[in-house]
Amino acid sequence: MNTILCVDDEEHVLKALERALVTRGYRVLTTTSAQEAMALLNQCEVSVIIADQKMPGLSGIDLLRWCRKNFPQVHRIILTGFVDWPELITAVNECGIFKYLPKPWDNAELLAFIEEALVIEEERHKEQFFLEMLKKENQNLRKERGK
């Protein structure tokens, strides 16, 4: 089961995201703080993180920057109620965000973003699997040639 971590300082936003995602069978973790999100990322395998751009304390951009450094395989989506273009550009350039989602969001668009991220993740896993198989085959061929 794929896990989605939602981070927003507004409880009603978290509940709305959770409702939209749970109906698709995702495991959803929610928190109102970036610090708690960091702890959850350290404890759980997360496929996608959705973080509000503006939060008290550590911002969503700071959280996603940290996530990129420590969990680069996690797809990062920034959620915001208003566009602060310089911050959004920072999010793209420094945080490697996967998608930008405005508030209020469209659930169909949200779910499409999640599905796209998960397809990319699945392809990445397949690629890694085949690379490992190729390495093993190359090792076997080297051993056979050495005999």
Range of the domain at 111: 3-122
In this structure, what DSSP letter does residue 37 have?
A: H
Torsion on CA atoms 86, 91, 97, 103, rounded to nearest 10: -60
> What is the count of structural domains for the chain?
1
Contact 80, 53 (CB under 8 A): yes
Condensed to tens digits (0 to 9), the pLDDT of residues 110-146 reads 999 999 999 988 888 788 877 888 888 888 878 888 7
* CATH number, residue 96: 3.40.50.2300
Condensed to tens digits (0 to 9), the pLDDT of residues 27-44 reads 999 999 999 999 999 999
Q: Does residue 140 fall inside a structural domain?
A: no
Question: What is the per-residue pLDDT for 147?
Answer: 63
Q: Does residue 39 fall inside a structural domain?
A: yes
